[in-house]
Structure 1
Amino acid sequence: MKADTASSTAFTVLQGVLMTARDPAYAGQVAPATEQACRQILQASPEGRRRLKTVDSGLARRIMPLAERLIMPGIAGHYVMRKRFMEEAALAALADGYTQVVCLGAGFDVLALTLHRAWPDATFIEIDHPATSAVKQAAIAGTTADNLHLLAVDLAERSLPAALGGFPAFDPGRRTLFLCEGVLMYLDVSAVVALFAAIRDLTGPGSRFGFTAVTPMTSPDNNTGPLLRAYLAIKREPLAWTLERPQIAGFVAARDYRLLDSANTADLVARYMSRPVAGPIHKGEFMALTEAC
């Protein structure tokens, strides 16, 4: 991602969510409020409006699934299932008395935007690169309550404790859920380990951390190939950290966390949908929810 440009991936994910909202195979999986919030964000920038034209074009909606099969089969549906997992983790934490949700590398995700009014006693904080955060802040300006905060920080240049330590809205004494969706694969393993430590140090044992992880390209549990590698190279977002799903429990245990839940796209289709998906299901990224011990 260029330093002065919003993340192309952030646009692509919202585009995929809106495409899936119109896919009969995933009927009912994208809530109207989510669809509305996605459109609100995309409408606020020239690039976003270009993506919306694609979403609303009948021809593009026929072509996009074909292109998807060549690059990342089933990825648009995966985005929706991934967000369902994160939303479920957030709702469960809020119901359990957690009163602070921090979204790391939030991009254009709309989870906090759609939940914060329903939970006025909870604090929602999003952290993302300034260029991406600026587009989102402009899109939602004047439409949010006081318990939603967008913090523009490049975590590649400033540590999480430094970013949150001086931020008045953040309270280290609150029970906190951290979410990090579609980000960790761009960090090297030392940065991933440091992030687990930082979260535990910031809010202590009992802190929850939901995240996604990518399996190695050579894994049998990965249906992407050379075109994905080319795509990531073009977008300058190479994969740095990968992990086989069976290894996740041991990985987090070594960080003094316990695994609460783990799922791949197929698991979530079975969990959330009444019937199997007829088209391809993305294999290559899985979701995990953990808790600091």
Structure 2
Amino acid sequence: MLDQEFESHLPTRDFSRRDFVVTTIGSGFAAAVLPVAAQTLTTDIHGLDAGPVTITVGDFKMPAYRAQPAAGKKLPVVLVLSEVFGVHEYIADVARRFAKQGYLAIAPELFLRQGDAKAYADIPTLISNVISKVPDAQVLRDLDATIAWAAANGGDTTRLGVTGFCWGGRITWLYSAHNAKLKAGVAWYGRLVGEASALTPRHPVELAGDLHAPVLGLYGGQDGGIPLDTVDKMKTALKSGSAAARRSEFVVYADAPHAFHADYRPSFRKEAAEDGWQRCLAWLKANGVA
């Protein structure tokens, strides 16, 4: 069953194609949450090599947004995993923020086989038509291919991290149990429990014992879609898990809602977002990614 976090904090609006058109990956904002909030951050590309790239996964050409220092070689790599809305301007900007810190940051479009998430203005329809049809196994393969691309294009994948938001936060936990070469993960308010299905056979709480890399979980105490008792269940599972699991940590921002880092949305909470960002950078550095 899909967690209600995806829709419980977002307004449903009707926008025509002429109101909102996405022409390239990393451009525009999620139609489902327009209008964009006034506090939205914008990171410039000065000194960066940033823009769309294409990653080959079998016979599929997967778009992605890449940002890195223009003069960099053998850079640490961080995967940036999107919310349900795909790789729009907010996710691209997060990639640029990492690039400013010296990373090769890459955000792959992980839904396109099922549909273009950025084209939807109605969240329940987006979830039923696209997100609910995306298999975890497909996502993990696509991330493996993304890392191979990074290794061939200036990245040092011995220094590999992953971070993700909402839907991507859940995948952060899954990928930390999937890839033995991963050094660290940072999961922003990704759901931790759920019903098993053919497409989502296991959830983070069931994979806690298998983590290859420690994960920092950044969660909101007022997140109606992720009850704090599920955070407690994950903490308990981690205590009896792998060495990496036991090194994992949670930070819960008591007054923060879901999506508190998403500066383009009303859910943004500046203090929690800034603290979480600094903790994210410190976690990656402390675990060998920087």
Bin for the TM-score computed over the shorter chain: 0.3 to 0.5
Taking structure 2 as the reference length, what is the TM-score of the superposition?
Answer: 0.38
Tell me the TM-score normalized by structure 1. 0.38
Indicate the structure with greater helix content. Answer: 1
Structure 1 or 2: larger strand share? Answer: 2
